[in-house]
């Protein structure tokens, strides 16, 4: 699987992947995986429908590729290394043999609850081994997993469960996050008041508290696992059978359930993992993301296990028991590859070096970042103090929709440079588009980032709404996938992602759509209207600024209202979407057709008011002055 060894091999592979993509991916798929039946066609596609199909006709099961095929040679190798929240609790090494047994038992429990191929199973768990095992157990029997990040609220959980008609939910009695204990089961109980389709709830024990169990619906997982058989034959899946659904924010409307299918996702997540992180058999690989996000799906679970790697799963947070925790884990487990978000790097850099220098970080070989642009200062801190200028930094640009890393440095092939995701991975054909929809050729240019040709792990549709998939990704530009990001290409052809060009805001690496936040705020009986924009933030990258008009502008208890508004957001979405700044205003700037001019609000929130553009055409230009005067 490892063939990008130097610049020459990258250049040669890239050329082949573009000139003859089918032959290129055919060879990788044949050489590196076990198939129950080969494909009849490598690729079929038409972006105007859109329809994309990779390895059509092939049959396989991804868990046999993740687990079974490693057993003979590497059964005793650690597959998942679990590091608990509390540093005094022992870590747990789950070997490939253990993992095989636990996944099979879990799969049999799912079957015993009536789950069959194609059924949707929601997984709402903290970062404990059961989360990875549940995901794999679903894949074992062809059930489609839909993991919901355990920081989401009951409302957000319920809407995701209902959107894809999940039949079964897997959760725990609770979870640990730093000094906090999270009462997950009561969130689940609230959510399920609105989810008639859930027939059973499996509950893992983590915090060992008394929780309420609904008779006939809720079952403790442990006893069921203990009595389940450790043999569960892998269900035969077609290449294009859905593997999972994962929700991501859109610029309008409710989150989109991105559907990833089996074979293409497997091939691409495995191949990118191996080549971008340069994983060697003895390495310990650690990605600090949560499995509730795509990064965790592709680069904690599937990519590493497909390569027979040891993947570390951390339950806790970077600040507990102190801000040295990441580095103490790197030292303790001799981590070789470390993959995290720029927001974590900025938070850790702010703490100074006293919490870095005590630790031996000499095991590190490759560092990675993901989820948002990394600023130059954070990049240098990471390079100087964590990598000691010996470790290549892979600034990996990709998306929930892309399934795998799309643009990134590749160690040994070419270096990174601060703030640049650099060059496309093999098989990826980026293009920059201008406002008229034309491709911008040449270097030293800037535009909207599109991908002109399919790659194996691209999402195939939005669950239940193919029309929305088409409109969101394939309608802005002819025969191209539109990413929603802006980018520039420098004089050497290297890409720098400049950020979202739509109403999605990336806060601490989390993708947040403004529409659901505004909907939550507008539920407050005193609120008339609201508009959310992002503004630059030292640690979070972007933070949320809310402009809110009240029905009764004389309302004086602003402090209490702000608290209530953030409580509403927590209830509808989760604490990650709380507003950092709230400005009450008598009106919002609008066009004559009534559209809120977010561009102006964005500039005011970012304190960049030197060039607001022509505001004379607004319906209410006077309001801009008032907003600027009172801005926070």
In the region spanning residues 446 to 505, those forming contacts with ligand PRX, defined by CB under 6 A, are: 483-485, 497, 500
Stretch that binds ligand PRX, among 129-137, 223-231, 396-404, 461-469 (CB under 6 A): 396-404
- Computed on alpha carbons and rounded to an integer, the radius of gyration of the chain in Å comes to 24
373 or 447: CB nearest ligand PRX: 373
Residue nearest to ligand PRX (CB): 400
172 or 295: CB nearest ligand PRX: 295
Q: Give the x/- contact pattern for ligand PRX in 292-311, rule: CB under 6 A.
A: --xx----------------
377 is written with which tokens? 């200062």
Q: Work out whether 372 is an interface residue with ligand PRX (CB under 6 A).
A: yes
CB of 395 to ligand PRX, least distance (A): 5
Query: 229 — phi, psi (to 5°)?
Result: -70, 145
Choose, by CB under 6 A, the member of 265, 397, 473, 482 that binds ligand PRX.
Answer: 397
Q: Work out whether 395 is an interface residue with ligand PRX (CB under 6 A).
A: yes
CB of 451 to ligand PRX, least distance (A): 12
CB atoms under 10 Å from CB of 581, counted, come to 15
DSSP state string for 278-293: T--TT-EEEE-S-TTS
Q: Work out whether 370 is an interface residue with ligand PRX (CB under 6 A).
A: yes
Tell me if the bond preceding 27 is cis, omega within 30° of 0.
Answer: no
Stretch that binds ligand PRX, among 156-164, 394-402, 427-435, 452-460 (CB under 6 A): 394-402
Give the list of residues 6+ apart from residue 569 with CB closer than 8 angstroms, or none: 517, 520, 521, 577, 578, 579
What length does the chain have? Answer: 632
CA separation, residue 310 to residues 62, 227, 337, 474, 532 (Å): 17, 28, 11, 38, 41
Choose, by CB under 6 A, the member of 262, 307, 511, 585 that binds ligand PRX.
Answer: 511
398 or 414: CB nearest ligand PRX: 398
248 or 254: CB nearest ligand PRX: 248
> Do the Cβ atoms of 107 and 139 come closer than 8 Å?
no
- What whole-number distance in Å separates Cα of residue 32 and Cα of residue 412? 22
In the region spanning residues 564 to 583, those forming contacts with ligand PRX, defined by CB under 6 A, are: none
242 or 373: CB nearest ligand PRX: 373
- What whole-number distance in Å separates Cα of residue 487 and Cα of residue 496? 5
69 or 537: CB nearest ligand PRX: 537
CB of 236 to ligand PRX, least distance (A): 30
Q: Three-state DSSP class for 204?
A: strand
Q: At what angle do helices 558-572 and 154-163 cross, to 10 degrees?
A: 30
In the region spanning residues 404 to 423, those forming contacts with ligand PRX, defined by CB under 6 A, are: 421
CB of 281 to ligand PRX, least distance (A): 26
82 or 293: CB nearest ligand PRX: 293
Q: Work out whether 248 is an interface residue with ligand PRX (CB under 6 A).
A: yes
- What whole-number distance in Å separates Cα of residue 43 and Cα of residue 23? 10
> Do the Cβ atoms of 290 and 148 come closer than 8 Å?
no
CB of 472 to ligand PRX, least distance (A): 12
CA separation, residue 192 to residues 184, 264, 325, 488 (Å): 12, 34, 36, 45
> Do the Cβ atoms of 192 and 170 come closer than 8 Å?
no
Q: Give the x/- contact pattern for ligand PRX in 318-357, rule: CB under 6 A.
A: ----------------------------------------
CA separation, residue 473 to residues 42, 298, 484 (Å): 23, 21, 8
Q: Work out whether 95 is an interface residue with ligand PRX (CB under 6 A).
A: no
- What whole-number distance in Å separates Cα of residue 41 and Cα of residue 385? 48
181 is written with which tokens? 């204990």
CB of 356 to ligand PRX, least distance (A): 23
132 is written with which tokens? 């990875």
Stretch that binds ligand PRX, among 99-107, 193-201, 224-232, 369-377 (CB under 6 A): 369-377
Choose, by CB under 6 A, the member of 65, 105, 399, 461 that binds ligand PRX.
Answer: 399
Q: Do strands 120-123 and 168-172 pair parallel, antiparallel, or not at all (unpaired)?
A: parallel
Q: Work out whether 425 is an interface residue with ligand PRX (CB under 6 A).
A: no
114 or 536: CB nearest ligand PRX: 536
Contact residues: ligand PRX, CB under 6 A: 248, 294-295, 370-373, 395-400, 421, 483-485, 497, 500, 506, 511
């Amino acid at each position: 699987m490892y063939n990008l060894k130097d610049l020459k091999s990258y250049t040669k592979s890239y050329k082949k992947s573009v000139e003859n993509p089918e032959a290129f991916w055919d060879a990788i798929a044949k050489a590196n995986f076990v198939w129950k039946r080969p494909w009849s066609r490598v690729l079929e596609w038409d972006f105007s429908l859109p329809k994309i199909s990779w390895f059509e006709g092939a049959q396989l099961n991804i868990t046999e590729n993740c687990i079974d095929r490693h057993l003979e040679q590497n059964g005793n190798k650690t597959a998942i290394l679990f590091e608990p929240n509390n540093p005094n609790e022992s870590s747990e090494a789950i070997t490939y043999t253990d993992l095989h047994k636990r996944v099979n038992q879990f799969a049999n429990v799912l079957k015993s609850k009536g789950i069959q191929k194609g059924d949707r199973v929601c997984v709402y768990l903290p970062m404990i081994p059961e989360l990875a095992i549940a995901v794999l157990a679903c894949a074992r029997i062809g059930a489609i997993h839909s993991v919901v990040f355990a920081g989401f609220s009951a409302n957000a959980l319920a809407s995701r469960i209902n959107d894809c008609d999940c039949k079964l939910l897997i959760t725990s009695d609770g979870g640990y996050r730093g000094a906090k204990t999270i009462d997950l089961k009561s969130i689940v109980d609230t959510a399920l008041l609105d989810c008639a389709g859930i027939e059973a709830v499996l509950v893992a024990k983590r915090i060992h508290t008394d929780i309420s169990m609904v008779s006939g619906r809720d079952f403790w997982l442990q006893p069921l696992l203990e009595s389940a058989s450790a043999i569960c034959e892998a269900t035969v899946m077609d290449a294009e059978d859905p593997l999972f659904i994962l929700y991501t924010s859109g610029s309008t409307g409710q989150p989109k359930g991105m559907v990833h299918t089996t074979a293409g996702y497997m091939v691409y997540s495995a191949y990118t993992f191996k080549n971008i992180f340069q994983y060697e058999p003895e390495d310990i690989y650690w990605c600090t993301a949560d499995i509730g996000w795509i990064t965790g799906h592709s680069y904690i679970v599937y990519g590493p296990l497909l390569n027979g790697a040891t993947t570390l799963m951390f339950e806790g947070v970077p600040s507990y028991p102190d801000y040295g925790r990441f580095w103490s884990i790197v030292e303790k487990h001799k981590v070789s590859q470390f993959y995290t978000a720029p927001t974590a790097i900025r938070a850790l850099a702010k703490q100074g070096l006293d919490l870095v220098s005590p630790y031996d970080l000499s095991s590190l070989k490759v560092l990675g970042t993901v989820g948002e642009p990394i600023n130059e200062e954070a990049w240098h801190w990471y390079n100087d103090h964590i990598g000691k200028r010996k470790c290549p930094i892979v600034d990996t640009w990709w998306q929930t929709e892309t399934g795998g890393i799309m643009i990134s440095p590749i160690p040994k092939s070419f270096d990174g440079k601060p703030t640049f995701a650099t060059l496309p991975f093999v098989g990826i054909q980026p293009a920059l588009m201008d406002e008229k929809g034309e491709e911008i050729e040449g270097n030293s240019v800037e535009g909207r980032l599109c991908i002109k040709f399919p790659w194996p792990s691209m999402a195939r549709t939005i669950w239940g709404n193919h029309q929305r998939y088409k409109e969101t990704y394939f309608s802005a530009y002819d025969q191209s996938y539109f990413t929603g990001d802006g980018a520039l290409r420098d004089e050497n052809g290297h890409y720098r992602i400049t950020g979202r060009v739509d109403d999605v805001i990336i806060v601490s690496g989390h993708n947040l759509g403004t529409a659901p936040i505004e909907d939550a705020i507008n539920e407050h009986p005193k609120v008339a209207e609201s508009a959310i924009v992002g503004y630059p933030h030292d640690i979070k990258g972007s933070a949320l600024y809310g402009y809110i008009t009240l029905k009764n502008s004389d309302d004086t208890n602003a402090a209490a209202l702000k608290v209530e508004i953030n409580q509403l957001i927590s209830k509808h979405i989760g604490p990650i979407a709380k507003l950092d700044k709230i400005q009450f205003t008598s009106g919002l700037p609008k066009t004559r057709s009534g559209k809120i001019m977010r561009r102006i609000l964005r500039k005011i929130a970012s304190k960049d008011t030197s060039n607001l553009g022509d505001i004379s055409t607004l319906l209410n230009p006077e309001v801009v002055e008032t907003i600027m005067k009172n801005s926070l």
